[in-house]
Amino acid sequence: MATAIRNPRPNPAPDRRHPVDPAAAPARGGPSNGKAGGHDLIGLKELSPEAICALLDRAQWWAEHPHARSDALRGRFVANLFFEPSTRTRFSFEVAARRLGADVLNFSAATSSVQKGESLYDTLRTLEAMGVEAAVVRLAEPGVLAELAPRLAMRLVNAGDGANEHPTQALLDMLTIRQRFGRLEGLTVAIIGDIAHSRVARSNLYGLTKFGARVLFAGPEPLLWHGHGGLAEVVSVDEAVEAADVVMMLRVQRERHVDPAAVPEDYLARYGLTVERARRMKPHAVILHPAPVNRGVEIADELVEDPRALIFRQVENGVAVRMAVLERAVQGGDAGWAS
């Protein structure tokens, strides 16, 4: 049964002896108050290590209380605007918002005024005028949210923009890794597959390297991304699998491919995580995948639920991370959590 809770102090060291009722804390932000107190989450490239650490600490607390609820966002409206298909990310955000007591509006592009030519900015301004305080947005165009955020009083949370960033997915990946190893520093994380089209790969690269992790990229040459500025090392798939503490397989995003020949028929054998390759992983190494999974394409079917695979743990952690992100967006982050 769900448990109503009070908010603890999550950062830097959670202090569960002196919980504070969030209802007693002063309301922060709001459409009429500009950005004061609230925080957008556009990407991890520009986010400080301290801010990332605070989010991971807060998410860890929610992960340790998977049935807990809060009224921290009671009376606040959050809108989910997904212009691309999504199952787990959209529902994960909705579950997170509802567990925080928020009222959730789900946007359907197919039945909205976007079909009449309304711009994303005007759609967001309209929602803002109605009192919506935060919008979770997924769209195909990269970089648009960064341009819109300064023009809006509402908080924006990036749920994936083109091949640019997917910050909450990277945060839940980092949380999952930290739970298993107790740290990020000094670990080797191999990101393998369709990196060219992967916003997950980019956000993980930016986030993990800020904490001293070594990132390896591997995959077919047409699907690699060389704009990493030296943050990643490009190696063969076999080298990556054998060197990694974390093997992160990426979905082959056929819907974004211009050249179908970029994905050969024997993709699994040449670039995927086969059972034979998995035998050559380090004994302590784990498997991650952002999902949805193409079983038998980038990963062998039997490895999806292998004991080394943390794919469903990642999904669990997704709710915890998004609760922390929404609290930060609407309440103002660790200052809001503690006051």
Establish whether 322 is an annotated binding residue: no
Distance of alpha carbon 76 from the chain centroid: 22
Among 58, 89, 210, 289, the active-site one is 89
Does the annotation mark 166 as catalytic?
A: yes
- Judged by DSSP in three states, 88 sits in helix
Among 116, 151, 279, 284, the active-site one is 116
Does the annotation mark 228 as catalytic?
A: no
Tell me the C-alpha distance between 174 and 191, whole Å. 13
Dihedral sign for Cα 171, 172, 178, 184, please: negative
Beta strand ranges found along the chain (DSSP E): 3-4, 7-9, 15-20, 68-69, 77-82, 103-108, 132-139, 155-161, 188-192, 214-218, 232-234, 246-249, 286-288
Q: Which residues pair with 39 in a beta bridge?
A: none
Q: Which residue type is seen at 58?
A: R
**pLDDT class of 336 with cuts at 50, 70, 90:** low
Tokens of 133: 């305080």
Establish whether 166 is an annotated binding residue: yes
Question: Which residues have C-beta within 8 Å of that of residue 146, sequence separation ≥ 6?
Answer: 42, 43
Establish whether 138 is an annotated binding residue: yes
- pLDDT at 19 exceeding the cut of 80: no
In this prediction, residues 69-84 reach a mean pLDDT of 95
Establish whether 66 is an annotated binding residue: no
**pLDDT class of 253 with cuts at 50, 70, 90:** confident
Share of the chain above pLDDT 70, in %: 85
Dihedral sign for Cα 232, 86, 47, 97, please: negative
Does the annotation mark 138 as catalytic?
A: yes
